[in-house]
Chain A
C-alpha cells in the first residue's frame, strides 16, 4: 500500500516537472523583404541566388541582377549588355578573384569579370553541353553540371575535363547540381543519384537508391531516397540531398530520409537544397520553403505565402506535430521555391515569383528556450 502511494506520488511529481519544462524552439524568420520586377529585377522567375558580401547576385529567366544590400538598389544585365544568354540557372563567385560564374540554361557558361562577360559553350570549349544546371568554384577549377555530363575548367591552364559514363560511375549523364565541400565535389544527377568526387584521391563514388526501384522507397534511412537527385549540399561533415521524391541527409555512415508524411517538409517535390550546418538545411519545395532547423529532434520550420497580400506564415513542426504557427506581415515571395543562399544570419530565397530576403536578427542555431508564439495565422484574404 505504501509502495503504491510512493509510486503514485513520484508519477505525479514527474508529471508536474514535465509540464513545467520550458519549450525549446527553433529560430523563426519573421522579417522578410520581397523583391520583384517592381523593385528593378529584370524578371520575377528566379532560378539562382548567390550572396557575395554586400552584393547579392540574382539569376533570372530574363537576365542577371545584382542587389546592393546597403542601398537596396538593383542593377541588371541582359543580352544587350553582353550577357551571352538571358536564362541564368546557376551562380557561384570565386572568392579569390571576385569573378562571378554563371550557368546559362541553354547558353553554356559565362564569367562576369570587370564588367565583361566571357563565354564558353559546347562549340568553343570543353563544356559538354550548353544546358547548364549547376556551377561551382573549387580553387582554380570551375565545375559545371550540364544535361549531358559534368565539365571542369582549369582557369589557370585553360584545360577542360569532361565526366560522363565513360570515366565516372554516372549511370545516366543528366547532371542537375554541383557543390563543393568537405574536400569533395558533389554532383546531383537525374537518374544516377549523388556522385562524390574526392579531391584528394581523384576517385568517384556513387550513391544510388538501394532498392533500385523508381516507384517505391522500400525502407526508410537505407540510403538515398531516390535516384532523381536535384541538389546535394555539403555542410560541416554531412551532405544534404534533395530529390523530386523527398529529401535525405548523409553523414558518411548513416542516412536519414525525409518525406512530407514524416517531417515538416512542405512537399516531396524539391527543386534544390542548401545546407547551413550538420543540423540545419533549407529545402526548396513547390509548396513552400522548408528548413530542418534541428536535425536531432527533427524540428522543422516551413514558410509559406498567403494567397492574398504579401503576408505569410511559418509553421514549426517536430516530427508530425505542429508546435507553433507564426503569422507575419510579409512572407516569402511565392511558395514555388527554386533556390537558396545562406548569408550569415540571413537567408535568400529564390522563387518562381520574386526574391525573398529573410533577415535573421537574433538568429540562433538549433533550439532555444523561448516562449511559444500564440498561433496568429493571418486570416485568409487579409490584404496587408
Chain B
C-alpha cells in the first residue's frame, strides 16, 4: 500500500541528457577525487542514486544549478477528488506539484578548514517551560519537546559512537535551543544557529506558529530545517526549498479520520471541539473541508482556551446539536477532560481525536472513558521492524523510558540529517540536495519515509483505537476504510507550461 502510494505520487528521475549537462567534466573530476579520499564507512552510506546526485552537485560554479529532474506529484498530498477544493472547477494554478529548486550559489561554498572541532546540528523545540504569547500563554508542549530532544540525542550519540563525522573524525554536537520564549523567539534562535553558532542543519519544531517563524529565517539564512513534530499542513505549503518534514501531517491524518467517519461509519452530524491555538485551528481545517465537500458540513465547532478544565460552555451547545460524532483537536490533557465531561453530561457519541491524545496522560485521565476512542496517527508503532526494536531497546537503555512518537520521529529526522551531512560534506546546499533529490524512501524506524514534491512525508498514516486497555494501530486496509478516487493525471503539465528564462523558445 505504502509503495503504491509512493509510486503513484512521485515521479523522480535523473535528468540525463537534459540541457544542463554543463558541468559534467568538472563534477566527474571532483567526485572521482572525492571518492578516492572517502573512508570506507562513508562509502558504505552512498547508494548509486546518491552517488549520481553527488556527481551532479559537486564541482558546480556559483552560477550553475544541478542537472537533476525535480520531483513531480500527480496529485497534491494524495487528495481524493471529492476532497479537492472547488472540485468541480479546474483551478487556474495548482501549487506544490513540482519540487521547488534551490538556485542560489551555495553549492560552491568551500568546506571549512581542518580546525573544526565538531559538526554542529541545531535542535529547536519546546524544551523549557515558559510563558509565551506566541503559543497561547503558558507553554504546554515541553512533554513533547523533551521526547523530541531525547530521540535526536540518541541518534547523535549513536553516530558519534561509530566515529562521528567520517571525513574529519570529529564528533557531531547538538546545539539545543528553546523555541517558546518571547514573541518570535524561534526566529532569533535560528539566527543564532545559522549565523553565530554555524550549525549545518536544524531539526525542529513542534508548535505551528514557531515553526513558521523558524522556516522563514531558515529560507533567508539558507539552512535545512527538518521537521519531525509539527503536523500543521501549512508548514510545508510555503514553497521553501530548505524545509522538509518526516512525519505525516494533519491533512493526511484528517483525510483518513474523515474517510472512517464519513465513508465507513456514515456519520453525518459531526461536531468539533478544539484548542484555541494554531494547532487546533489549522488541524481541523481538512476535517472541516472534507465534511463540507462530502455534503455533511460540520454542525458546530467550539474552541476553548488552552489550559481549560471546564468545557460546559462548549459541550452544552454541542449536546443540543444532536451530533453523531465528536472530534477533538488539541492536547491530550484537555482531550481527556473534554471526553470525561461529555460522558458525565450523557453525551455518548463516538469520540475521535488528533494524534496528541494517543498518550499515557490521556488514558490516565480518561480512565474507562478512553475505551473506543479513535485518533489519527502518523505511524504504526506496532509494526514489526528490527530497526524499531533496536531503537526502542537503545532508547530504554539510554533514558530509562519508552520512546513516544516525538522521540521516534526525531530519531528518524536526525538520522536523515546526519546521513546527509556525511555524504554531502559540510555544505548546507549540498546537505539539502542529497535529501531533496533522494530517490528512495528513507528507511526510518517509524516507517519508510517517501518525500513528495513539497518534501513532505507522504507515507501511510493510521488510526489508533483504544481497545481493551491499550492503543491498537490500524491501517486503512485493516479497518476496510473506503478511499475516495485519486485520479493519476498529470497536473503539472496540464497547465499552459512554464518557460525557462535561460532557454526561451525561439522569438517570433
Contacts and interface: CB of A to CB of B under 8 A. Distances in A.
B166 interface: no
Interface in A81-114: 86-87, 89, 105-106
A325 B504 contact: yes
Interface in B331-369: none
B10 to A, nearest CB: 17
A299 interface: no
Contacts of A211: 85-86, 91
Interface in B171-218: 182-184, 187-188, 191-192, 195, 212-213, 216-217
A66 B62 CA distance: 24
Given A286-B101, A375-B507, A215 B76 contact: yes
A314 B340 CA distance: 67
B86 A218 contact: yes
A376 to B, nearest CB: 11
Contacts of B187: 106, 129-131, 147-148
Contacts, number: 179
Contacts of A287: 103, 500-502
A250 interface: no
B186 to A, nearest CB: 9
Interface string B485-500: 0000000000111111
A260 interface: yes
A239 B68 CA distance: 37
A179 interface: no
B63 A305 contact: yes
B220 A47 contact: yes
Interface in B45-69: 61-64
Contacts of B101: 286
B195 to A, nearest CB: 6
Nearest to B97: A215
B100 interface: yes
A361 interface: no
Nearest to A324: B507
Interface stretch (B141-149, B232-240, B263-271, B308-316): B232-240
Interface in B455-508: 495-502, 504-508
Contact of B504 (A190, A286, A315, A352): A315
Contact of B191 (A106, A269, A320, A323): A106
A317 B504 contact: yes
Interface in A56-83: none
A269 B239 contact: yes
Nearest to B134: A148
A371 to B, nearest CB: 14
Nearest to A130: B188
A105 B220 contact: yes
Main secondary structure of the interface of A (DSSP, over half): loop
Nearest to B507: A322
Interface residues of B, number: 56
B1 interface: no
- Among A105, A220, A302, A375, residue most surrounded by chain B Cβ atoms (within 10 Å): A105
Interface string B125-136: 000000000100
Contact of A131 (B63, B77, B188, B496): B188
B217 A131 contact: yes
Contact of B192 (A106, A218, A334): A106
Given A47-B220, A148-B184, A307-B63, A315 B191 contact: no
A216 B238 contact: no
A228 B95 CA distance: 13
B22 interface: yes
B95 A336 contact: no
Interface string B230-259: 000110011110000000000000000000
Interface in B2-59: 22
30 contacts: A106-B187, A106-B191, A106-B217, A122-B182, A130-B187, A130-B188, A147-B217, A148-B183, A190-B216, A191-B212, A213-B85, A215-B95, A215-B237, A217-B91, A218-B86, A218-B89, A225-B93, A244-B239, A245-B239, A261-B499, A286-B101, A307-B63, A308-B61, A315-B504, A324-B507, A325-B504, A325-B507, A334-B62, A336-B105, A381-B22
